[in-house]
Every structure is written in C-alpha cells, then in structure tokens.
Homo-oligomer: A and B are copies of this chain.
Amino acid sequence: MPSARETELLEAAYRYVLTHGLADVSLRPLAAAIGSSTRVLLYLFESKDGLVRALLARARADELALLDGIGTGPGVVERLWEWLSAPTHRPLLTLWLEAYARSLVEPDGPWAGFARATVEDWLEVLRAAQPEDVRDTAEGLAARTRELALLRGALLDLLATGEAERVLSAVRG
C-alpha cells in the first residue's frame, strides 16, 4: 500500500532511470535529481534493492499495460512492432534490455527472474492471438516462439542501429 509521497517519488525516480540507466544508479545523485534525499528513499523503500525492485515493477507495469491493450486478432506482430519501434518508447526498451541482461548475469538480487517473466508474458499474449485450433499444438508453440524471437531480435537491431526502415522491412518479412 504505497503512500502518495512514495508513488510520487517512484514516478520521479522512474523518469530518472529511463534516461540514466538502472544498472549503476546510486542513491545520492538520484535523490538530488528528483529533489529528495537518500534518507527519504531509504525510509520509503527500505533499501536500495527495494527501490530497484519497485522501479523494475514500475517498468513492468508499462509493459503489461501495452500487452493488455494490444488485442488478440491477427496482425498482433505488426501492432507490437509499431509500439516497440516508436521513438518515444526507446528509453523504456533500453531499460528493459538492461534489466533483461542483468537478470541473466546476476540471477540473485532484485533483478531475479525478470528475463524469464517477460518471455512468459509475451508468449502468453501471442498465444491468445493465435487461432484456437493451433493454440495448444506444438506448432502453435513454435510459431509464437518464433514471432517473439523475431520481435526481440528486431528490437535489438533497432536499438543498436536506429535504422527503422531496414528493420521494419525485416519484421514485415
């Protein structure tokens, strides 16, 4: 049950890590940037790990909101790509990749399970968008795994090169 001040500061911290990265954030610069103090952050979030967990959950909320609004008809992949490739979302997606990589390198700590959770979230959405008769077959599983891989790989490419047209033509395939 977060207090008003807590969600307010979390939101500010979230905006901060979107541009500064989450992996090597430290309390004093963060607190200074959002007009708070380490004392308060520690009071509200218990520890730095607690804050990181809260930020990760915040980022995941953005992701889940997307997946919720994406619908289930055909053309999901195209709609997902449209969202992924929007320049506005780039900081969020860089943050996402950072958390993904980190959760693989350091399976303990606040990052734990992030990568796996996000794979499952997306696979479930793609599953829901499949025609009913393939949804529970091995082919259906392979197909949505492939769609997910294509989206994720294309995202990696786009984040590194910024060449939206080339990557788009690959996703359209």
Interface residue? A119 (CB, 8 A): yes
The CB with the most chain B CB atoms within 10 A, among A94, A106, A153, is that of A153
Additional A-B contact list (11), CB under 8 Å, known A142-B166, A151-B153: A98-B104, A100-B101, A100-B160, A116-B160, A116-B161, A142-B170, A145-B154, A145-B170, A149-B150, A149-B152, A150-B150
Interface residue? A159 (CB, 8 A): yes
Interface residue? A4 (CB, 8 A): no
Chain B proximity mask over A111-155: 1 for CB below 8 Å, otherwise 0: 000011011000000000000000000100111011011111111
Contacts of A101 in B (CB 8 A): 94, 97-98, 100-102
Contacts of A11 in B (CB 8 A): none
A153 CB contact (under 8 Å) in B23, B106, B148: B148
Interface residue? A34 (CB, 8 A): no
Complex: how many Å from CA A106 to CA B97?
Answer: 13
